[in-house]
Every structure is written in structure tokens, then in C-alpha cells.
Structure 1
């Protein structure tokens, strides 16, 4: 009994420190890095494993599916059993699956290992986010989640460049060995820096019935659903860009691979800076206004891209500007929408984070193939997706408006 009370007291004293925030940034960046480092090696993987381009592409799809399911399940389970032990289990699982990817003898084994890698990465990400929600409230929560998103944005900047370097000096398997090494480092960091943030008396009973009840409670909150739509639709716009930007810039406009990588990094940097700016604005300017500013900018970029694709031959300068504006705007939309969604369900932080992560990665999995339906010679489908996703995001923001009663808010 004394030991249990001591454990509960330690959990209650858990604080949000700089080291803990840095650890969550590490957790947030490692799973996307596992994909971004791997993408430049697609042709080499196809040749080495005697696979078609479509089969190699499916390893990306299985990763996204795993990420979505990992976040959907990991959050509620951690609401029942606590954060720290499950986070360690997820990181170990991701490390082992990365090793399996590195030694995969066939494309089938690679698909399965990538699914497990995504599942474990999503599990770790949602628990890391739930730890932050456990320990922060109000403007501080918004600020910290924006910092995590902003600094975590280094992964999509560095990933393709690191992957290209690794591919030059070694084979594609080395990318997965590198991710496995990062996984080992993460295990150590979690052991040192992450406390148990959810004491036993704040946990929820488990079981499928309990999860269904918690999900209904979370989804019954109109403002939560609205903010999930804000953030998830923003991710859809990002994936429309990621899935087709190489074709638009290289195939249609003749940009070299090196120049494309530089432009890709610049756009990711714009999103990172915008996230950090949003963090500074938390508590000073209404977060909903910051989101709206990003949505208006993103919608303008989508409309300009559509006009250029339909009537101007998709000129390079217009494409570069539109992509930069779109990605920078997402730095104002996604992290803020996710932070406000979490703030709406403080009683179920794990379930709330799980639903948010599930919607976000499902949007990624759906939009990516749709964006390429027109082939590599047109930007029209991508432009329509940019506009459509942004309008859905704006509809979500409208859904979050406080109801007025008797002339008040």
C-alpha cells in the first residue's frame, strides 16, 4: 500500500519539463523520418526485392494504415494502463520492426514490417501527445504543442536529404538500420526523461465497451469534432502536395532533383517557422483567429494553383509560391487545431489524441492516391484537393463557434 501511494504521489508530481518536451519532439519526428528517409530509395528497393513500383508504394500505404490504427488503439489503452510502460513497449516494437525492414528478404515481409513500424510509431506518438495533455492546460498546452510541431517539422526537411545521402554512400537498407539505432536511443531517453503522467486514480476502466463509451463521449463534443476536422483536413492538403509536387515541379517544369529537394526543404521550413510563430502568439491572439488566417492563405494558394493549372500552363514561379504559401499556412492550422481539439476533452486525453491521430493519418492515406489520379502531366486534381481540404477545414472551424445565448457567448 505504501509503495502504491508513493507511486501515485510521484505521478501527481510529474511536471512538463524541457527534457520531456524534447523527448516528445523526438517521438513525433522518428516515425515520419522513417518514411522520408526511405522515399528516395523506392527504385532501389523495387530492383533489390524484384517488386513493382506499385508494390513498393504499398509499403508506404501499409505504414500509414499502421500509423492510423496505432494512434486509434494506443491512446485509449494508455488511458487505462498509464503512459510510461506502454510508451516503452511501443518504442521497442518500432526498433525491432525497423530491423526487420532492414533485413527483409521480400516485398511481402517489407509490407508487414512497415505496417508494424507504423503501428508502433503511431502508438508512441499518441502516447507522447497524451503525456503533454496530461501536464499542460490552456495557452501553455497550445504553445507547447506548436513548439513540438514546429521543431518536429525538421524531420520532413532532413528526411529526404538524409535518405539521399545514405543511398549515395550505402544501400537502402542502411536507412532502416539508422532508424533502428534512433529507436535504441529513444528507449534510453524515455527511461530517463518520461515520468508516469497519468496516476492510477485518473485512469479509466478498460475493455471495448469502455473504449466505445469514451469514444462516444469524445465525439459528442461538437467543438472537438470541429477542431479534428480543422486539423485532419489540413493534413489532407499537405499530402496532396507531398504526393504530387515532384511531378509538378520536375516532370512538368523541369526542376532538377537537387533543386526540388531544396524547394521541398524550404516549404517544410516555412511550415516549421509558422508553427513556432503560432506558439509565440498563444495567449496573445485568439488561436481561432490564427487558424483562420492560415486557412484563408491556404485557400488563396489553392485557387491560384487551380487557375494556373487550367489557363496558364502551370508556370514554375506560380507553383513555387503557391506551394510555399500552402505549407506555411498549414503551420498555423494543423498544430493549433490539434491543440484546441485536445483541450476540448481533458477527461479523455488518450482517446481524444487517438481519434485525432486516426483521422489525420486516414486523411493522409486517402488523399495521397487521389491526388495522382490525373497522372503526372496535370496539377488540376491536386489543386482541387488543396481547395477542397481547406474548405473542409474552414467548415470545421465554423463548427467550433461558441453558441450564443441571450446575446452572450
Structure 2
């Protein structure tokens, strides 16, 4: 995939920016590598979750302690993205990306050989930090090299193909548990880390030349953060994607209880339904990528928000008065997950387009907000226990509503010259 230069009357790039984009090209190999890097979070999480009971037994930990290893991973992801983006704005993309991938590989090995739950928790924190660092830099590379509708299209493709990981992760984790030991899943993540490093060496160029880098230091980081957060359009789309992410993880954290504990679905049937819902999200993101430049991106986001709001409202009504019947839960979960394919990647793309002069910082703040939302909402969704869907449905509905406020109230409704709408 090569980028065709856009007319300067539309995008208005500065000469150094145009020159940088001529030197580093957006190739299919580069996009594939970024997809590979962004798959690490769902793979490192979804392959591991089915093994929680075995991990608790092997490491003499409680269920709460094992759950904490997931929380620390999310915390690491959020911090890694918050710090990695600005550092790459200062130091460039290529070297920090390679370093992060190597650290993530080492941390995955630490998880595989962890003798205690404490060591596992610490290794998961480092794994999440390095994985988040790598993910935000991969996204910043795309923002460096793509503009306008192409940026929206490529980020939707990344999200869509990356959506395969949540489909494969639980199935692969269950297969590993049947054939081997839970530690094998972390050895597999370590092997994938080495493969990612090799792919980055071969396919990812330095996309941020020295003349476009920002000075480092805490003061400059805070300054860049203030600049992006002072951009109302950016904040609006940040809310769009962050609130949608919260609704998504309300589903991820509690859908197993709703479908298995409350409705008697078998683990295999649940895994199949989870995969089908992830397919819906992937197809929606691919459709959004195909429609970029033909249909307003804001209209696609709004379509997803309305669908998610309807699904959340129906789920809440069913939880309050009908006992959350299985057909209603299956339909609402599918609609919700499909809607995420329109909301999260498109909201993120428009947020990135709103702050082109600070792509690393913009991506860092965006990733931080999304993963903080995931880590916060996931435990809240389960507060009612495993026999009620009311907290989950409430959070899904609220997430869709807040996302809509971000689009219609905070983000500028009128298109801006050079920014896709």
C-alpha cells in the first residue's frame, strides 16, 4: 500500500512534512507489521484468561490475586502508551519501537517462568507497559505517513484485521490448555514478540525525521499534552473512542457470566459466540474503511453510537424485568460489538487527524484514556455478581450515551479543511 500525494490545497502540508512522507512510504508490509504489533494486547489477555483457575492453583494465589495480574497488565498498557508516544516524538519511532518489542518479549518469558503470583504480577505490568509503548508508536507511524481519508481508511483496516486476535485468542488459549500447560501461552507470546521485532526491523522505516521531532523533558511533554487537550475537536473524538472502549470492556468482563452462569451456555458455545461477535466488529471496521471518502466518518460513528445505545437500553430493560433471556443477550451483544467497529477506530482516526503536529502525544493520550477506561469499567461491570446483568447493561448504555455527547457536543460538527469528516 503506497500513499499517493494529496493536493496541497486540501492538506496544506509544510515542505518538510511533504519531504518526510516522500522518504518513508506507507507500504503493505508496514501496515501488516502495525497490525501484528496491535494484536499483542488481546493475545496476551485472551489466551491467558481461560487459565485463571490453573494459574491460581500452580502459583498458590487467590482468584483476586490472579485477577490483579490482568488489572496490572491494563495499567501497564495505559502508562506505556502515555509515555511511549511523547518519547517517540522526541527520539523518533524506529529505535523506541524495537526496544519496546524486545522488553515485551523478555517480560513474556518472565511470565512463563514466574515462580510466584507476585513475580507474575510484576512481569505482567512490564509486559503491558512495553506492549502499550509499542502499540502507540505503531499508530504514530501510521499518522506520520497518512493524511485525510487515507488515514481513516488505514486505521480502520488496522482495527479490522487486528480484530482477528480477539477471535483467535480465547480459542487458542483453550486449545493450549487442552494439549499442554498455561505457561505455553506466554512462551507463544514471547515467540510472537521476537517475530514482531524481526518484522519491524524489515518493514518499519524511521517515519519521523529529526527536523519534525519535539524537544524532550517533562515540561515539553506536559506542554504537548496541554496543546492536544486544548483542542476541543480532539477531546470530543477522544471521548467518542474512550467511552466506546469502556462499553466494550463492560461486555468483555461480564459476558461469560451472563451467557454461561445465567443462561447455561457451554464454554465452547460461549467461545463461538464471542468469536462471532468479534467477526461482526471486524466486518464493520472493514466496511468503514471501504466507505472512507464516500460517507461522512461522523455519520458512521453516529450510526454505531445509535446501535450501541439501542442494544444497551434493550439489555438493561431485559436485565431489570425479563431476567436477561438468552436470545436477547445474544442479539444485543452482537449489535454492540458490531457498533464498536464503527465507533472506536473512526473516533481514534479523527482524534489523530485533529492534532497532526503532535501525533505521538495525541496517540499516547488516546491510548491512555482507552485503556484506563477498560481497566476501570471491567471490574465495575461485575459488581453485582455473576447472576445479574444490570451493572453491565447500565455501563454499556452510559458508555454509548457519553460517546454520543463527545461526537455531537464536544467535537466540531462542521468539517475542517484537510481533516476527514
User: Which one of the candidate residues 321, 335, 343 is aligned to 2:345?
Assistant: 335
Consecutive unaligned residues in structure 2, runs of 5 or more: 1-18, 416-420
Aligned to 1:4: none
Alpha-carbon offset, residue 32 of structure 1? 1.8
4+ residue segments displaced more than 4 Å? 9-12
Residues 11 and 198 in structure 1, CA contact (< 8 A), matched pair in contact too: no
2:276 aligned with 1:277 = no
Q: 3-state DSSP class of the match of 1:248?
A: helix
Consecutive unaligned residues in structure 1, runs of 5 or more: 1-8
Q: 3-state DSSP class of the match of 1:15?
A: coil
Residues 77 and 206 in structure 1, CA contact (< 8 A), matched pair in contact too: yes
2:240 aligned with 1:234 = no
Q: TM-score, normalised by structure 1?
A: 0.96
Residues 12 and 199 in structure 1, CA contact (< 8 A), matched pair in contact too: no
Alpha-carbon offset, residue 310 of structure 1? 1.0
Residues 20 and 208 in structure 2, CA contact (< 8 A), matched pair in contact too: no
User: Which one of the candidate residues 371, 375, 379 is aligned to 1:369?
Assistant: 379
Aligned to 1:90: 100
| Partner Cα distance (1:129, 1:403) in 2 | 26
Residue pairs, 1:252-291, within 5 angstroms: 252-291=262-301
Aligned to 1:162: 172
| Partner Cα distance (2:248, 2:322) in 1 | 23
Residue pairs, 1:215-230, within 5 angstroms: 215-230=225-240
Question: Deviation string for 1:109-139 (max 9, x for gaps)?
Answer: 0000000000000000000000000000000
Aligned to 1:150: 160
Aligned to 1:205: 215
| Partner Cα distance (1:24, 1:332) in 2 | 20
Residues 284 and 339 in structure 2, CA contact (< 8 A), matched pair in contact too: yes
Q: 3-state DSSP class of the match of 2:208?
A: coil
Aligned to 2:256: 246
Question: Deviation string for 1:164-203 (max 9, x for gaps)?
Answer: 0011111000000000001111111111000000000000
Aligned to 2:50: 40
| Partner Cα distance (1:123, 1:328) in 2 | 27
User: Which one of the candidate residues 389, 393, 399 is aligned to 1:389?
Assistant: 399
Alpha-carbon offset, residue 31 of structure 1? 2.4
Aligned to 1:356: 366
Please give the root-mean-square deviation of Cα atoms over the aligned residues, in Å. Answer: 1.4
| Partner Cα distance (1:234, 1:28) in 2 | 18
Aligned to 1:138: 148
2:87 aligned with 1:67 = no
User: Which one of the candidate residues 395, 400, 404 is aligned to 2:411?
Assistant: 400
| Partner Cα distance (1:288, 1:149) in 2 | 17
User: Which one of the candidate residues 345, 358, 361 is aligned to 2:355?
Assistant: 345
Residues 11 and 195 in structure 1, CA contact (< 8 A), matched pair in contact too: no
Residues 21 and 144 in structure 2, CA contact (< 8 A), matched pair in contact too: no
Count residues with an aligned counterpart: 398
Aligned to 1:184: 194
| Partner Cα distance (1:224, 1:10) in 2 | 24
Alpha-carbon offset, residue 312 of structure 1? 1.2
Q: Note closer, same or farther for the CA distance 1:288–1:11 as it changes in structure 2 (3 Å cut).
A: closer
Alpha-carbon offset, residue 313 of structure 1? 1.5
| Partner Cα distance (2:66, 2:323) in 1 | 31
| Partner Cα distance (2:350, 2:125) in 1 | 29
Alpha-carbon offset, residue 11 of structure 1? 7.7
| Partner Cα distance (1:325, 1:154) in 2 | 18
| Partner Cα distance (2:344, 2:226) in 1 | 23
Aligned to 1:15: 25
